[in-house]
A and B are shown apart, each in its own frame.
Chain A
Amino acid sequence: MNNKTIAELARGLRAGEFSSVELTQGYLERIRQFSVLNAYITVTAEQALAQAEAADKRLAAGTADLLTGIPVAQKDIFCTDGVKTSCGSKMLDNFISPYNATVVEKLNAAGAVMLGKSNMDEFAMGSSNETSFYGSVQNPWNVSCVPGGSSGGSAAAVAAGLTAGATGTDTGGSIRQPAAFCGITGLKPTYGRVSRYGMIAYASSLDQGGPMTRTAEDAAIMLQAMAGFDEKDSTSVDRPVPDYSSGLNQPLSGLKIGLPKEFFGEGLNGEIATVIETAVNEYRKLGAEVKEVSMPNLKHAIPAYYVIAPAECSANLSRFDGVRFGYRCDNPADLSDLYTRSRGETFGKEVKRRILIGTYALSAGYYDAYYLKAQKVRRLISDDFKSALAEVDVLMGPVSPTVAFGLGEKTGDPIQMYLSDIYTIAVNLAGLPAMSIPAGFVDGKPVGLQIIGNYFAEDRLLNVAHRYQMNTDWHKQVPKGFE
């Protein structure tokens, strides 16, 4: 049961093969069995069983949605009413959210069963899940490796069968890179497609929530429930949500694929390049035309990102001040001491680095040289994508230059960690939708194929991913010991 897709589980629930309560109990048991992976920060067993009972009633009454009764994990960045929402930080270790994020409200309304809150890098700042206050997560494919980050708990939980689907958020690759490292399907939607209300903000002009699942078909089902305009999010885009499942099977004949040559240059592991080439050849067999395109400004994406994201993070994280919620230091001498120590005693090193860089970049006299310059570079990168996507329907390339690296391997060198996000970060700067789907293995570890589409072309991306999954079985592979 634990390795079935959401679509299969939905059919099983309707056929009466099992109830949502049985399904939920099964997943809760597996979460206990594999607690060593550390994929969850909080398990909400009692609430999950209550939601499952309600879901079974809806199923019996014939008022069920596709997600009704399906167990999901919420990344611990999404606020959940009455449930600890830590964002992976000591600062919020005592924070019981007083409200639900819109994504949580929507999944609840669809009847999904929340198993718990998944582990993540502190405030979503990291590419390995190692900055979490609650410790690192093990990659089910190789437990001495990282699951990727920041949505590492969600990715590991889906890969290990500790949930049927999960939510993630992606600011610079935080859905796609862990999806690639753990061999699952991840979708980062167009900026503004999924509400950010109640999703704890890191870099507001880049953050976007999305689904992490076993298949593209499941991602379509979850995105259907998550997407849509929300007046509570001032950057939400008011535009109808298409039916993401109806076009999944469309043939790919005539699909134009662009391969940005800068995605295949220096720094890319040669065996990963081979896996990607093989996947692209599969698309040729499915009728696609492939051509090379160029994104000359791609190499400036990481520098621009490491100004924009820290600048926005330094502003967003100023709300954590020890006054209204979260951690407060003992015996503050005065108000300044209260702020300084409450923040200093809880934020980890990576969060502190980014707050400091952002504060510096925004400080008097430096704004033009850093933030304004980075926003101009951002425009050039976005223009590169626009010209490329005027020639082709989708872009393809690797998600990450390497497969999952060892736990502790890169923690001593923040820059090395930053550089591993080279292929994902540019997409966030442009605000485009992109997916990672399993495409093969190197050294027994999964490799992700990245598919990037035009604004609001999530339906096309899902179709392109689904057709590949109909013709390959990389997405059906299960890590040893988790069958």
Chain B
Amino acid sequence: MALQASESAVVAAADTDASAPRRDKLRFLRNGKTLVGLSILGFFVLLAIFGDALAPYDPSARGPNIMASPSWDHPFGTTQTGQDIFSQILVGTRGVLVVGFVAAVLATVLGVLIGVTAGYLGGFGDDALSSLSNIFLVIPGLPLIIIITSFLPETNDLTIAAVIGLTSWAWGARVLRAQTLSLRNRDYVQAARATGESTWRIIVFELLPNLTPVIATGFIGTVIFAVLSNITLAFIGIADISEWNWGTVLFWAQNNQALAQDAWWWFVPAGLCIALLGTSLALINYGIDEFINPRLRNEKADRSVTMRVGFTPVLRDQPGVPAGVAQAGSPARVPAPAPPPGSAPQGTIRKDDQA
């Protein structure tokens, strides 16, 4: 779903100035949403790296405590064979992230190659490549992935990542094609062409830097999709169930009637982890969306003043608003009706006013 939310933003942004991000490349890191998203993602990346070492038990080892609810020994409880679910989640993080990122890298590379080439070439090449991406776009992805994976004689994390990557590049290609088309006619690209720069130089040095935010949203959207697909494959038992990931945990929970036995701890932690990871990725994407399309930015304005299109607020009756600023050089200060924390106390401002 997050895919679709970000597409609308990207499409909207295609109309606005795509070269704007050049000005301040790191600005989006200061966005609160991006920061929260990156922190959660960072946490999961750490788990993926150190999960094996951190896990208190061997995730596959049976134990004496069967179907135990969460306790100090087993923070997420145990399975009906006494396996520690906390360890399963910790160890399973790596598989989830590896498949997500490998698939997304593959899909992004394909998407950039196909989308940018189509947009830059135009003509017959464009027609052929766009038809190809449109076909892959309308064929439902998850069923296709399920079919291909179940036909494979052997599945492991990498083959699954490959299948997901090879089937989910079309969305990125489509958006990139549209962006490339609009960039191709910009002055600086035309100028580079006129001076006889080679096509590849133009694509790599003039186009790609401007496509970075679009590529980034596409990449993260694909990670979300790949993570969900991978977990789904594990959940329905197509993926190799001997490799731990959050979907495998859910697979065993479902197959052992965890629901009917009220063993909520067996499936709740894995689901929450998926949702948390998905949320963090979506937040990063919102940050990038707001970076590309400033209209989406929610100014942290004073909530007591309603800003709405077509009805400019008039604050002249509010206390503390200077009737006129005498000195042009002095920074204009209009304290909001309720002063934000950390601003000058209202008394001082009043005094300035009456002066």
Q: Do A and B bind each other?
A: no
- Name A residues whose Cβ lies closer than 8 Å to a Cβ of B: none
Interface residues of B (CB under 8 A from A): none
